[in-house]
Structure 1
Amino acid sequence: MSSVTERQSLVSVAIITYNQKEYLRECIESVLAQDYPNIEIVVADDCSTDSTQDMLREYEKQYPGRFILKLAEKNQGITKNSNEAQFACTGKYIAWMGGDDLMLPGKISKQVDFMEAREDCDICYHNLEVFDSDTGKKIRLFNTPKNKFEGDVRVSIRQSTFNGACSNMVRASKVPEHGFRETLPVASDWMYWIEILHYGGGKIYYIDEVLGRYRKHANNVTRPETYITQNELDHLNTCNLIMSLDAAYFPDALYIYAKRLQGLRHKLNYPSALLRSFVLKPGLKPLAGLFIYGLTLGKVRL
């Protein structure tokens, strides 16, 4: 290793994957193409059945000492798999990716430079290009002027997950000892960001550049469901966990809990969900919903 590389902080690129062999090679190549030299690539595979693990072993042989592989022998779920990667990382910074995400040139260098210049920066995120997996065409940008937030833990609580997962680089020393909360089996990332900011006492900052690509395909397109999903349950439970962190977060947790209830009104008892949302966070939307529902004898639901 050169003296220049030794002077640069080690970055762990943590890649979470399950049955994504079709996309994983492109993901890994986008990491290997980065101009930042001091990188370890930590890949946690959740017992894929599509020969992903064989491909990863080939990479490990091709790049000795560059890869750390955590290859599960049985499926654990996304949160436990994320912790497999988390606890294997040895870098000063951790850059998170899904197995179908892509880095754009200069991403790691720019984020490291940004964080090195700001000691209070515990999380750094950037904009992403959301693209269609089949055509490769850009669909939209992940962040718009309305959801580019910076600040302390209360911003992350009130605004929820405004930071696209594969855009985040975190300061490893500020990660909670337990990593991701395994009581949240699917959607544990929101609580992970919150706890980094809570225990670390730092801030989340935004780089206003597109430094990554988020793939939209059949496996990650959100479809409307008639029942409450595990993802939605995890978000509601996160609100409860937030309140247990610090009494000062109680108003913020109630605020976001009310918004979640309003969003779930068509899956819960409709008037009850709106009423509870209004009690927790008085506003025109739940009030209007209740008014129209009552006026039409339950025939119209906004």
Structure 2
Amino acid sequence: MNSNFPLVSVFVASYNNARYIQQSLESVRQQTYPSIELIIVDDASTDSSVEVIREWLTQTGYEAKFIINETNLGVCKSSNVFLSHATGTYISWLASDDIMLPQKLDTQVTLLENSPQKVGVVYSDAVVIGADSKQYFSRFIQMHRQFVDVPQGYIFPVLLQDNYIPVMTALFRRSCFDECGWYDEDLNYEDWDILLRFARKFEFIYSDYVAAQYRVHSASLSQKLQSLTSLESSFKLLYKHIAINAECDAIIKGKLRHLLDRMYYLKSPRQREYMEKYYAYFNDEWLFKFALKSGLPYFRLLRIQRLLGRFTGKA
């Protein structure tokens, strides 16, 4: 560490990525930025991740805090374990199968140091790689959204549409967590929720420097986010932001309807509970009220209504 530079706390979230964790840790060690506090939290991995991490720490002599959860806590609780140990002015998050590019922290700390306090986050783009480390797509953001100019400033309405930000490329002021709260432990994934909460109060800036390699493989967390619990997490995190304004409500309304329809097809035992929660606020459509009472999927009823309208000439 170098006391002449602001300290960056880097969180490496480890879970069953023994094959890749050494590459992730090496990418932190190879950063050109000189003041890093590395904190590794292993969330009770069942593979050899802990042994690989210990071997890397011994071989490199790199200073780090290594925390091993006795039981699997999930990514949100593990992220809060990290925050409870982090002492840096800035926070950076890295999954144990992703890779930071060498000037990531150097570039982003400089940007935040020269920005007003209302700017809480700088983010960049990432290239997408596979299990074999070969590049699959040119850019992460291009996979999600086709922007003419990547958004900066107050990006909350854009971020509500979907999470297009690769979180491993972001650098946060610690003050964002102090003001907006830590990770929501009631959710089963962390990035979209924390980004939305920060985007309501802070401005974001975009750096065109490609800051990371984002790995997609069969065991990665991103491949598991289509589960029922993840749909429910998405509903919960979006519902936090209702009643900001009409524009945001319209976005949230459409996304919640879609989530409810998918819950129906996955036979969620809590679908009715979430439908009632939706209808308590968005109570302006008779068709949705009928779906709530009947337990039928709203979007299927809507399609039937539209087809009948075309057939009868009332569409």
Bin for the TM-score computed over the shorter chain: 0.7 to 0.9
Q: Which residue of 2 is the match for residue 33 of structure 1?
A: 30
Q: Which residue of 1 is the match for residue 209 of structure 2?
A: 209
Deviations 1:159-210 (A, max 9, x none): 33121121111001221474101111x1232221233344xx3211111221
1:236, 1:260 within 8 Å by CA — same for their partners in 2?
Answer: yes
Q: Which residue of 2 is the match for residue 241 of structure 1?
A: 240
1:239, 1:254 within 8 Å by CA — same for their partners in 2?
Answer: no
Q: Which residue of 1 is the match for residue 95 of structure 2?
A: 98
Matched, 1:262 2:263: no
The 5 A counterparts of 1:250-289 are 251-262=247-258, 265=261, 267-268=263-264, 289=303
Deviation for aligned residue 1:84 = 1.2
SS at match of 1:252: helix
Q: Which residue of 1 is the match for residue 162 of structure 2?
A: 160
The size of the alignment, in residue pairs, is 279
Deviation for aligned residue 1:109 = 0.4
Q: Distance in 2 between matches of 1:229 and 1:151?
A: 33
- Structure 1 residues without counterparts, runs of 5 or longer: 281-285, 298-302
- Structure 2 residues without counterparts, runs of 5 or longer: 266-274, 286-298
Deviation for aligned residue 1:137 = 2.8
2:21, 2:53 within 8 Å by CA — same for their partners in 1?
Answer: no
Q: Distance in 1 between matches of 2:55 and 2:185?
A: 31
Matched, 1:19 2:21: no
- CA distance 1:229–1:39, change in 2 (3 Å): same
Q: Which residue of 2 is the match for residue 283 of structure 1?
A: none
Calculate the aligned-residue CA RMSD, in Å.
3.3
Deviation for aligned residue 1:139 = 2.5
Q: Distance in 2 between matches of 1:266 and 1:296?
A: 26
Structure 1 length normalisation: TM-score?
A: 0.80
1:149, 1:155 within 8 Å by CA — same for their partners in 2?
Answer: no
Q: Distance in 2 between matches of 1:216 and 1:15?
A: 17
1:9, 1:91 within 8 Å by CA — same for their partners in 2?
Answer: yes
User: AA paired with 2:189?
Assistant: A
- CA distance 1:135–1:13, change in 2 (3 Å): closer
Deviations 1:196-240 (A, max 9, x none): 344xx3211111221110001111363796xx6211111111122
Q: Distance in 1 between matches of 2:225 and 2:46?
A: 27
Q: Distance in 2 between matches of 1:250 and 1:296?
A: 30
The 5 A counterparts of 1:117-266 are 117-119=114-116, 120-134=118-132, 136-144=134-142, 146-147=146-147, 148-152=150-154, 154-155=156-157, 158-176=160-178, 178-184=181-187, 186-198=188-200, 201-220=201-220, 222=223, 229-243=228-242, 247-249=243-245, 251-262=247-258, 265=261
Structure 2 length normalisation: TM-score?
A: 0.77
- CA distance 1:116–1:59, change in 2 (3 Å): same
Deviation for aligned residue 1:63 = 5.7
Percent identity between the two aligned chains: 25
User: AA paired with 2:191?
Assistant: D
Q: Distance in 2 between matches of 1:43 and 1:122?
A: 24
User: Which sits farther off after the overlay, 203-212 or 108-117?
Assistant: 203-212
Q: Which residue of 1 is the match for residue 294 of structure 2?
A: none
User: AA paired with 2:130?
Assistant: D
Q: Distance in 1 between matches of 2:80 and 2:60?
A: 24
2:161, 2:251 within 8 Å by CA — same for their partners in 1?
Answer: no
User: AA paired with 1:146?
Assistant: Q
